[in-house]
């Protein structure tokens, strides 16, 4: 099983959503992967440098986290993941890491990945996209994958329509939407939806 958690912008709760799913389905003994693409001029941490860029001679970098902690990969372990990895690749070059990702998928029965761009190299069992109606930023890469989501997880901010509604008009109609209120991202309804996808995936065990 491959669960993918994406989102339309940075810092809107994707890690919290993934961790919530790991915690709810802890019996699956997840292997979690956080994917960071660097070199686009905006870092994942509040727009400031965070050291995510790999060495020039090894632009594709995969590291495993071994201790629960405050980092995204550490939070996955704290939520109950069996293993947790951080994959870094230059912006726009994730296909170069396809071999690394396939190896992880082949060697682990249940994998959860925080990334939109993994859809370039793998077909998920379920793809959830997190949306925050109050956040005006909408990454081009997220817009590219918007209509491939199986369901949308919408942060309840009391808004009936998103501030970017014209940007995505018609591209997400007719798909399931699950409202959530932080810090509870993995609601019973959302987990029931994921479970239904899991039960129909012959690869999951």
Query: What pLDDT, on a 0 to 100 scale, did the predictor assign at position 114?
Result: 97
User: Cβ of 193: how many Cβ atoms within 10 Å?
Assistant: 18
> Which band of pLDDT confidence, cut at 50, 70 and 90, is reported for residue 51?
low
Tens-digit pLDDT profile for residues 109-141:
999 999 999 999 999 999 999 999 899 888 888
Q: Spell out the domains of the chain, with CATH numbers in brackets.
A: 2-199 (3.40.50.300)
* Best CA proximity match to 146, nearest among 113, 169, 122: 169
- In the chain, alpha helices (H): 14-24, 72-79, 98-107, 140-145, 188-199
Tens-digit pLDDT profile for residues 133-183:
899 888 888 888 999 999 999 998 888 888 887 776 677 778 899 999 999
Residue 76 host element (H or E): helix 72-79
Q: Is the pTM of this model over 0.85?
A: yes
Better-predicted residue by pLDDT, 64 or 45? 64
Query: What pLDDT, on a 0 to 100 scale, did the predictor assign at position 202?
Result: 52
Percent of the chain residues past pLDDT 70, beyond the cut = 88
**pLDDT higher than 50, residue 73:** yes
Average pLDDT across the chain, whole number: 87
Better-predicted residue by pLDDT, 43 or 195? 195
Beta partners for residue 63, in sequence order: 86
**pLDDT higher than 70, residue 48:** no
């Amino acid at each position: 099983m491959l669960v993918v958690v994406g989102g339309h912008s940075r810092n809107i709760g994707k890690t919290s959503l993934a961790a919530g799913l790991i915690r709810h389905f802890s019996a699956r003994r997840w292997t979690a992967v956080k994917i960071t693409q660097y070199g686009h001029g905006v870092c994942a941490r509040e727009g400031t440098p965070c050291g995510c860029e790999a060495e020039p001679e090894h632009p594709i970098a995969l590291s495993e986290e071994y201790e629960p902690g405050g980092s995204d990969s550490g939070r996955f372990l704290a939520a109950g993941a069996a293993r947790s990895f951080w994959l870094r690749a230059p912006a726009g070059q994730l296909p170069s890491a396809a071999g690394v990702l396939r190896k992880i998928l082949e060697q682990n029965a249940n994998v959860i990945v925080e990334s939109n761009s993994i859809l370039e190299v793998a077909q998920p069992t379920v793809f959830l996209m997190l949306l925050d109606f109050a956040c005006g930023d909408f990454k081009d890469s997220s817009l590219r994958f918007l209509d491939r989501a199986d369901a949308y997880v919408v942060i309840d901010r009391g808004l009936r329509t998103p501030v970017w509604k014209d940007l995505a008009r018609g591209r997400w109609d007719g798909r399931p939407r699950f409202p959530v209120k932080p810090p509870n991202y993995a609601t019973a309804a959302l987990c029931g939806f994921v479970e239904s996808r899991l039960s129909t995936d012959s690869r999951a065990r």
